[in-house]
Amino acid sequence: MRKNRGIHLFLFCIIACQLQAQLGPSQVFDFALLPSSARVTAMGGSLISVQDDDVSLAQQNPATLNKLSKYALSINHDFHFAGIRYGYTGGGFHFDSLGLSLHVAAHYVNYGDFVRADIFGNEQGSFTASETAFIIGAAKQLNERISIGVNLKGLNASYDTFGSFGLAADIGAHYNNPDKNYSIAAVIRNIGVQLDPFDELEERIRHDVQIGFSKRLRYLPFRYSIIAHNLQQWNIRYKDPNDIVTDLEGNIEEENPWIAGTDNFFRHIIINGEFLLGKAENLRLRFGYNHLRKQELSVLSLRSLAGFSFGFGISVKKIRLDYGLGLYHLEGGSHHFGLRMNLADMFFRRV
């Protein structure tokens, strides 16, 4: 009976979040939704339904924490555009007596140095801008197949002399069916409030409702995932006013509603895959496709690989090195590097 009440509460939270969502630039602390690791970058920006020894996945869905997270460490850094840098560092713990897995992490972004100038353009030095999230999360294995988890986040932004602080949370659930090699997950990411605004106007913290499905093929060392994201708002298309189609007589043609609806549907979908090669899966080849990113960052009349992502992971002794390339635009991509290890394997006997 208690389990049923918990499931009903989780579904109610999802429905409640759907009623007040809004995409757009008028929100704060969006950096908290950035990919946590090189692995996630390589797989399209989201990976919520895979549960293994990668503790960084807890930033995507806290319910993925498990006993393999014990003493796991993940360090990641992304070399973004225009001198922007961001990264994630997290470590995991597991308490057998409580059946509880924990992780602590820091997620940060540094926007670099900016020139300070007065209204006449006279330079007066420089300033910096950065944002940081401090995360603590926990997951509980309810039975052999179902786990639930929660992240609590302290969010801080500093732009020169302006600062802001907020609190947010992630709530997730994960179901694993080992007999059929598939898993299903749901998560509400970044539900929060801005406690200390930059000025008198409080801004929204954008959240993201996601559902994911992952399946490992029986006769091929390959696992694919399909993630539906931004489910809190169905229509997420942006209609470019400059994208006007006319007929031979110069009359504006109305957009086909079937094409528009299909495009909007796929903007909610991320598809990715991971080849798990070798006896110990020491080599992993990854790819992903994010249709929302493709549509929003493509340039009219020019082809690009925006929306696609690629990467790999390789184990060298007891250290796993990860690389992810996220392609956003004609100018190139974002290079994400990661280092993962288990401190129990490296420094003391696993317990």
At residue 135, the pLDDT reads 97
Domain ranges, ordered by start, for the chain = 2-347
What would the mean pLDDT of 232-256 be, rounded to a whole number? 72
Report how far residue 96's alpha carbon sits from residue 320's, in angstroms, rounded to the nearest whole number: 25
More confident residue, 8 or 232: 232
What would the mean pLDDT of 15-40 be, rounded to a whole number? 69
Structure tokens at 214: 């992952």
46-64 pLDDT per residue, tens: 999 999 999 999 999 999 9
With cut-offs at 50, 70 and 90, classify the pLDDT of residue 117. confident
**E strand or H helix at 260, and its extent?**
helix 257-267
With cut-offs at 50, 70 and 90, classify the pLDDT of residue 253. low
Residue (of 17, 88, 38, 84) closest to 59 by Cα position: 88
Q: With pLDDT > 90 as the criterion, what percentage of the chain qualifies?
A: 62
| 340 has a pLDDT exceeding 90 | yes
Report how far residue 60's alpha carbon sits from residue 288's, in angstroms, rounded to the nearest whole number: 16
More confident residue, 257 or 169: 169
Report how far residue 140's alpha carbon sits from residue 145's, in angstroms, rounded to the nearest whole number: 11
With cut-offs at 50, 70 and 90, classify the pLDDT of residue 182. very high
With cut-offs at 50, 70 and 90, classify the pLDDT of residue 20. very low
| Protein fold of 2-347 | Porin (2.40.160)
Global pTM?
Answer: 0.86
At residue 338, the pLDDT reads 97
Contact between 324 and 42 under an 8 Å Cβ cutoff? The reply is yes
3-state secondary structure of 273: strand
Contact between 42 and 311 under an 8 Å Cβ cutoff? The reply is yes
| 189 has a pLDDT exceeding 70 | yes
> Could you tell me which residues come within 8 angstroms of residue 97 by beta carbon, excluding any fewer than 6 positions away?
none
Structure tokens at 183: 């898993």
| 167 has a pLDDT exceeding 90 | yes
More confident residue, 256 or 351: 256
At residue 123, the pLDDT reads 87
Residue (of 150, 75, 97, 95) closest to 343 by Cα position: 75
More confident residue, 201 or 242: 201
Report how far residue 199's alpha carbon sits from residue 162's, in angstroms, rounded to the nearest whole number: 8
DSSP string, 119-139: TT--EEEEEEEEEEEEEEEEE
What would the mean pLDDT of 218-227 be, rounded to a whole number? 96
**E strand or H helix at 333, and its extent?**
strand 332-342
With cut-offs at 50, 70 and 90, classify the pLDDT of residue 297. confident
267-276 pLDDT per residue, tens: 999 999 999 9
Radius of gyration of the chain (CA): 21
Report how far residue 60's alpha carbon sits from residue 188's, in angstroms, rounded to the nearest whole number: 10
66-105 pLDDT per residue, tens: 999 999 999 999 988 777 889 999 999 999 888 899 999 9
